[in-house]
Amino acid sequence: KPFIDIYQRVKQVMQHINQCSGMDEVCEVAARELKKWTGFDKVMIYRFDDNWNGAVLAEEAEEGMESYFGLTFPASDIPKPARDMYVKNPYRLIPNRGYEPVKLYPLLNPLSNGFTNLLNADLRSVASVHLEYLKNMQVMASMSARILYQEQLWGLIACHHRVPKYLSFEECSV
């Protein structure tokens, strides 16, 4: 899409959010608008508490998707290394949980004599336990985006899709 179309759409969404009267309404509008924008089958707004447990504050989903609205999940569902990753990286996209991982060669980087740090690489593999988690939820594609408040991780926007979903560079940038 041309930049002007994207700009106008973002401006409309921000106007809707600015008219909200409280956090619950902001979360509902954000989930609804992001679902329309991205085309994911489900979009959830997930907030961390002081102990890093997470609660689903808002959810927009296609019929037949399991609802997680109002549920609370233990901090262990999103461990500290994953939360730290979200502070540094704005989003994580898994377009197809059925992908075949590819090994990185050489195993040790000849310049550093250590493992290559892929923390900031969009195309790095995902922990097998996370792929199993997606499988148990009957989700083939997933995208999570951070929500920061005062430069701290406040929560996540979690998007799920029942079939593989590949996003363009422009869609990821938005």
> What confidence score (pLDDT) does residue 146 get?
96
> What confidence score (pLDDT) does residue 1 get?
61
Q: What is the largest CA-CA distance in the chain?
A: 56
> What confidence score (pLDDT) does residue 67 get?
96
Per-residue H/E/C for the chain: CCHHHHHHHHHHHHHHHHCCCCHHHHHHHHHHHHHHHHCCCEEEEEEECCCCCEEEEEEEECCCCCCCCCCEECHHHCCHHHHHHHHHCCEEEECCCCCCCCCCCCCCECCCCECCCCCCCCCCCCCHHHHHHHHHCCCCEEEEEEEEECCEEEEEEEEEECCCCCCCHHHHHC
pTM over 0.85: yes
Two structure tokens written together for 109:
């980087």
Per-residue model confidence as pLDDT tens for the chain (174 residues): 677 887 888 888 889 899 999 999 999 999 999 999 889 999 999 999 999 999 999 999 999 999 999 999 999 999 998 999 899 889 999 999 999 988 888 888 899 999 888 777 777 788 888 899 999 999 999 999 999 999 999 999 999 999 999 988 777 777
> What confidence score (pLDDT) does residue 5 get?
81
Q: Can you tell me which residue has the tokens 């990185």?
A: 104
Q: Under a CB-based contact definition with an 8 Å cutoff, are residues 39 and 143 in contact?
A: no
> What confidence score (pLDDT) does residue 169 get?
79
> What confidence score (pLDDT) does residue 6 get?
79
